[in-house]
Amino acid sequence: MSLAEKYPKEVKAIFAKYPPEQKRSAVMPLLYLAQREENYITKQSMQEIADMLDLDVTEVASIVGFYTLYHDEKAGKYRMQVCNDLPCALRGADQFLDSLCGNLGIQVGETTPDGLVSVEAVMCLAACDRAPMFQVQSGEGLTYHENMSVDKTMELIEALRKGGAKVK
């Protein structure tokens, strides 16, 4: 089922925000819509968005590749993106990342065997003074977690496993 068939009201509302001659400006909201359900954007969705906006699929794919909040590969239900830029690294982000992955039994860039969490290293989430920190991205939204320890993070992951935590 196409994006326009799945979300006709949302697609119409997105297009209503832009004049027809500027419809290509709708690319990012359409990508967000396409990613909402599965937490990644399929090649089919990229092609559909390109067709709707009279763009080349390469242009759409380049936007997906540039922004860290868009993904073109399936991963865990929750994407845990840990900032390990230099200021955060100086506050222990690299050790935090290594220890977290060790506790989860995965490497950076991998997904837990139950498919729940993927751990990624990213650059600058604008909270250098509150590192270690990460953002959790899901179809439900995006949340920031600052001044984290591995123990607190494992508690969060357990709550997500049990369905007791909501990521908004």
Can you give the CATH number for the domain in which 149 is found? Answer: 3.40.30.10
Domain shared by 102 and 153, yes or no:
yes
Please report whether residue 89 resides in a domain.
yes
What is the domain range of residue 36? 3-66
pLDDT digits (tens, 9 = 90+) for 129-157: 999 999 999 878 889 999 999 999 999 99
Domain shared by 84 and 36, yes or no:
no
Domain shared by 62 and 120, yes or no:
no
Buried b (16+ CB within 10 A) or exposed e, 137-148: bbeeeebebeeb
Domain shared by 106 and 139, yes or no:
yes
Please report whether residue 167 resides in a domain.
no
Residue at which a domain ends, from 66, 88, 118:
66
pLDDT digits (tens, 9 = 90+) for 79-123: 999 999 999 999 999 999 999 999 999 999 999 999 999 999 998
Q: Is 3 exposed, middle or buried (0-12, 13-18, 19+ CB in 10 A)?
A: buried
Polymer length in residues for the chain: 168
Please report whether residue 73 resides in a domain.
no
What per-residue confidence (pLDDT) applies to 116? 94
Which residue reads 């935590």 in tokens?
165
**What pTM value is reported for the model?**
0.78
Domain shared by 94 and 140, yes or no:
yes
CB 165 within 8 A of CB 156: yes
Q: Domain count of the chain?
A: 2
